[in-house]
Amino acid sequence: MSSLTTSEAGQAASARRKKRLAAFLFVVPLLLFIIVTFVAPIGTMLWRSVYHPSVAELIPQTLAELERWEDHKQLPDEKTLQVFVSELHTLNEQRLSGKLSEEFNRAYTGMSSVVKSTARRIGRMDAEALSSEGVEALLASHRNWSKPELWYAIERSGKVYTYDYYLTALDLELHPDDGIQVRQDTQIYLQLYSKTLNMALVITLLCALLGYPLAYYLAGLPSNRANLLLVLVLLPFWTSLLVRTTSWIALLQTNGVINSFLMGIGIISQPFEMLYTSFATVVAMTHILLPFMILPLYSVMRGIDPSYMRAALSLGDKPIPAFARIYFPMTLPGLSAGALLVFIISVGYYITPALVGGTDGQMISNIIAFHMQRSNNWELAAALGSLLLGLILLLYWVYDRFVGASNIKLG
């Protein structure tokens, strides 16, 4: 068989390149979809968590003066205060003092009304009075302006690139002399992270306890009957999530179906407070996420040969020990997949805790939504979301390290 000539080898290489290019073009839409809907949002979130130019754009000259400020136990010098007064006067004329008040309030609690009232007072002064009496008017308008810790907070908030939002998300704060310390005024985020993980773990365990027997039962049925019952498992996916969640409100409220039934048969004399609690969140989310546990388990159990159990029983083993030693280990890939799906989804769930959880059943996702929708503190929301993402990745790494991601099976 003769070897290819140089021309023929070139033509073959060109044909291979065209095939690879054609294959790549088929993948391009999916690649763009992943970039637009997955990579870009996560990248934007990570970027927003450390990038905050708002204060630097509003009072650049004041921040430049504060860079020379060394003794953080004393007020900045009069020149710095005069520059701030001038910039505050300008912002008031441009109707931007409200935006500055929001930024200062995030850095130092209670400054929103202080900045607005001070801006109105400074705004009424003419140029001559501003230069001669501006600093005195600033310090006299509110006692907070005489606190060095406020000016240190302003200096910190003026940094374009900062990790302060991560410190806040971890209930920490940076002191000028003592470094990073635990916040003394409010400590809510670490408790919410712990509460979210605990509730997600409880939901996962309940889904496993409820889903495993049901999947085992379905796997042992003939195909026609199993498929019919499997439709009932898939039925919640055909119903709106909002409808499924609000139906639990009708069931769990004080005058709801469950309380009315229990009082009707005489088990209780007073209705239970079940709605707007952590209990309501766990129950509703267990119901909503149960199919994510059943389907992987069923697909794995369906592929297990029943002869294994029959062989163990025929050799004299008892049913329960045979099930524990032979059948259960073979279902672990499906159980791992279902547990991972339920846990990760429940950690980031928002609608269900917001509707049925109340203040007691809130999770970290609800606080992230609060900062994005109400307080407009997108940087803190991005930091909280980034920490949640890192926590999930860490848990997945631990799972892969000790269990192995290769053991996961969805079918």
- What tens digit of pLDDT does each residue of 4-46 get? 677 777 787 888 888 888 888 888 999 999 999 999 999 999 9
E strand segments, 35-87: none
**What is the CATH T-level fold of the domain 189-407, as seen in this structure?**
MetI-like fold (1.10.3720)
Burial class (CB within 10 angstroms; exposed 0-12, middle 13-18, buried 19+) of 5: exposed
Q: In 3D, which of 300, 314, 329 has the Cα closest to residue 218?
A: 300
CA distance 345 to 355: 17
207 vs 5: which has the higher pLDDT: 207
**At 404, is the pLDDT very low, low, confident or very high (cuts 50, 70, 90)?**
low
Q: State the average pLDDT over residues 382-401.
A: 88
- Cβ pair 81, 74 in contact under 8 A: no
Least confident of 334-343, 358-367, 394-403: 394-403
Residue 378 has pLDDT above 70, yes or no: yes
pLDDT value at residue 109 = 85
Query: What pLDDT does residue 154 have?
Result: 93
Instruction: Assess contact for 355 and 249: CB atoms under 8 A.
Output: yes
Report the predicted TM-score, pTM, of the whole model to 2 decimal places: 0.84
Q: Averaged over 362-383, what is the pLDDT?
A: 90
Amino acid at 382: A
For the stretch 326-344, pLDDT in tens is 888 889 888 988 998 999 9
**Which residue is associated with the tokens 């501006």?**
134
Tell which residue, 339, 343, 330, has the closest CA to residue 296: 339
Mean pLDDT over residues 398-402, rounded? 76
Does residue 409 register a pLDDT over 70? no
Residue type, 266: G
Distance in angstroms (rounded) separating the CA atoms of residues 58 and 165: 19
